[in-house]
Amino acid sequence: MKDRLIGFIKTYCLFVCIFVLQKPLFMLFYKSLYPDASCADWFSVIWHGLPLDLSLAGYLTAIPGFLFITSVWTLSKSLYRIWCSYFLFISVLISIIFTVDLGLYEYWGFRLDATPLFYFFSSPKDAVASVSIWMVLGGIVAMAVYAVVLYAVFYGILLQKNLLLRMKLPYRRLKVSGILLLMTGLLFIPIRGGFTVSTMNVGKVYFSAEQRLNHAAINPAFSLMESLAKQKDFSKQYRFMEAAEADRLFKDMLEPAVAGGQTEETDSVRQSADSLHTLFNTQRPDVLFVILESFSSRLMTALGGEPNIAIHLDSLSKEGVLFTNFYANSFRTDRGLVAILSGYPAQPTTSIMKYPRKTQSIPAIAGSLRKAGYGTKYYYGGDADFTNMRSYLMSSGFEDIVSDQDFPVTERLSKWGAHDHLVFNRLLEDLKAEAAEGTAEEKTPHFRVLQTSSSHEPFEVPFRRLENDRLNAFAYTDSCAGDFVRQFRELPQWKNTVIVFVPDHLGAYPEHIDNLSVERYRIPLLMVGGA
């Protein structure tokens, strides 16, 4: 049993080491992209990329795990041939993926996914038209050399001594089989990425505001596998009418008729920018977005909703700017966030946030404000790796992300992580520290986003004011927001800050609302602050 357990652990660790070493190899190959990379950057790439390496190593160790279990019951040359053939196949596969990834990254600007396969199988001739014969030959040679090196490593560590053939059939076969089966089953933990609400995804390795470092941390084999699993033909999902009809409708939206007989010359909205009134006292205010989980207009009396629920938002609406005819762009958080922060329309059957290669190219408020000299930070009490959210946030321009891992375990008592009052308190602590250090008056403005999560199933919150659990959860988040604003008013940053309260989507209340109902998407948008 000892030989089998050691062999199993060796196999897993060997795969991990191979994937870890690919990262410095990638950075050395593209050294022109990393001229200023420090030792800390190199270490960070390896460290943050480790989750994908551990996950993929788990996938690749599963079959050897079952082979070890089989060896408990039978030892034969056929089993050894299967063992050797598996590692030969894996050596060739890893070599092809890594070599192709190295060759294509210069042109594509992202790590390997299913895109090259789509182009190759749709038109092989066109796919290789821009590649010289010498590049193809060089790639083939590199693949062959790398495959030989990998197999030599596998052979030297796992195969040379005929590991399986040397083993003896154990006396207690059921016990040994059970232990090996348990070990193989435990691979599910790194494969899934732990026990949080998020499963393993490419976005989990994103850690830097510099995309080149995030890309270096990605495991190309995992990226390809994930992309193939999510591959869809989107070309047939958006054509609902003839092109001429679509063009006509779109033209009408771009050139709406002016109500009341106004002409383009007399319409105040179309006048020059310097003639428009501004809502703020300063041209570069600090901006705070508070994204309210699942809130609806029915929770606010000011919007014709029910009384005694969002009492603090109702109160703030009297002093701020409340938009009374505002609608959510989707019904899920991952789609609503991209709509809010990037102005990107949500899709009904998929989410762009799950495609890091796409999200790295779309514009975002954070990126634009960062270029304008703003500092950017995101606060969320939950798992920032859920639905690839971290990769989207880093790509969109956020320099720092506070998530569940930044709170003590004792404070992560909700299914979604830390409760809302703790997240608001964390932001308030940062603001107070800023004020205490005397940096509140500095010229660098800030764009911050706080995303709530407690007003979501299972609606378990440390607060009880209403009998209905759903409404009570919304009232709790509302109380957290109200308490935050009350304390924020006392800080010097208040007079230069605009706060935007906006839900990601409507959910949970009203209950059983029709998805096709207009009210299903009506949400509040409230702007307050001292700016």
In sequence order, what DSSP letters do the residues of 159-211 get, joined into one string? ITT-HHHH----SSHHHHHHHHHHHHHTTHHHHHTSSSSSPP-GGGG---SSH
- Residue 47 CB contacts under 8 Å (≥ 6 apart), including other chains: none
328 has a pLDDT exceeding 60: yes
One-letter amino acid at 101 equals: D
One-letter amino acid at 404 equals: D
Q: What is the 8-class DSSP label of residue 258?
A: P
The rounded distance, in Å, linking the Cα atoms of 8 and 509 is 51
Strand partners, 290: 450, 501
Q: What is the 8-class DSSP label of residue 507?
A: -
Mean pLDDT of the region 506-530: 85
Which pLDDT value is given to residue 246? Answer: 85
Q: Kind of pairing, strands 446-451 and 286-292?
A: parallel
253 has a pLDDT exceeding 80: no
Give CA separation, 479 vs 311, 416, 441, 461, 485, in Å. 8, 19, 29, 12, 10
Report the SS3 class of residue 288. Answer: strand
The rounded distance, in Å, linking the Cα atoms of 140 and 100 is 9
Which pLDDT value is given to residue 272? Answer: 45
Helices 420-436 and 469-488, axial angle in degrees (round to 10): 10
Q: Comparing C-alpha atoms, which of 328, 335, 417, 430 is closest to residue 378? A: 430
341 has a pLDDT exceeding 50: yes
The rounded distance, in Å, linking the Cα atoms of 329 and 239 is 19
Whether 293 has a binding-site annotation, put simply, is: yes
Homologous superfamily of 282-529 in CATH? Alkaline Phosphatase, subunit A (3.40.720.10)
pLDDT band at 167 (very low <50, low <70, confident <90, very high): low
Per the model's pLDDT, the better-predicted residue between 435 and 110 turns out to be 435
Whether 333 has a binding-site annotation, put simply, is: yes
pLDDT band at 266 (very low <50, low <70, confident <90, very high): very low
Strand partners, 527: 321, 500
pLDDT band at 236 (very low <50, low <70, confident <90, very high): low
The rounded distance, in Å, linking the Cα atoms of 512 and 520 is 10
The rounded distance, in Å, linking the Cα atoms of 203 and 112 is 14
The rounded distance, in Å, linking the Cα atoms of 510 and 303 is 14
What's the distance, CA 67 to chain centroid? 36
Which strands form 375-380's sheet, in the order they lie side by side? 321-323, 525-529, 497-503, 286-292, 446-451, 375-380, 400-402
Contact call for residues 382 and 197 (beta carbons, < 8 A): yes
Contact call for residues 173 and 72 (beta carbons, < 8 A): yes
Catalytic residues: 333
Cis peptide before 458 (omega within 30 of 0): yes
- For the record, the structure tokens of 265 come out as 């010359």
The rounded distance, in Å, linking the Cα atoms of 14 and 36 is 31
Which pLDDT value is given to residue 262? Answer: 45
Rg (CA), the chain: 28
Per the model's pLDDT, the better-predicted residue between 169 and 103 turns out to be 103
Residue 373 burial (10 A CB sphere; 0-12, 13-18, 19+): exposed
Contact call for residues 62 and 184 (beta carbons, < 8 A): yes
Least confident of 91-100, 183-192, 232-241: 232-241
What's the distance, CA 284 to chain centroid? 29
The rounded distance, in Å, linking the Cα atoms of 284 and 531 is 9
pLDDT band at 162 (very low <50, low <70, confident <90, very high): low
In the chain, % of residues over pLDDT 70: 88
Contact call for residues 370 and 376 (beta carbons, < 8 A): yes
415 has a pLDDT exceeding 50: yes
Domain ranges of the chain: 2-230, 282-529
Quick one: which H or E segment has residue 375?
strand 375-380
Per the model's pLDDT, the better-predicted residue between 155 and 134 turns out to be 155
Give CA separation, 374 vs 85, 423, 445, in Å. 56, 22, 5
Which pLDDT value is given to residue 103? Answer: 86
Per the model's pLDDT, the better-predicted residue between 59 and 108 turns out to be 59
| Dihedral angle computed from the Cα positions of residues 291, 295, 297 and 302, in that order, rounded to the nearest 10 degrees | -70
Q: Comparing C-alpha atoms, which of 384, 379, 347 is closest to residue 240? A: 347
pLDDT band at 123 (very low <50, low <70, confident <90, very high): low
Q: Comparing C-alpha atoms, which of 523, 119, 467 is closest to residue 330? A: 523
476 has a pLDDT exceeding 80: yes
The rounded distance, in Å, linking the Cα atoms of 52 and 220 is 9
Whether 504 has a binding-site annotation, put simply, is: yes
- For the record, the structure tokens of 435 come out as 């004020």
Which pLDDT value is given to residue 238? Answer: 67
Least confident of 25-29, 94-98, 506-510: 506-510
Give CA separation, 221 vs 113, 136, 384, 511, in Å. 8, 20, 23, 43
Contact call for residues 207 and 385 (beta carbons, < 8 A): no
- For the record, the structure tokens of 306 come out as 């029910």
Work out the mean pLDDT of the chain and round it to a whole number.
86
pLDDT band at 343 (very low <50, low <70, confident <90, very high): very high
Mean pLDDT of the region 134-146: 89
- Residue 426 CB contacts under 8 Å (≥ 6 apart), including other chains: 379, 402, 406, 407
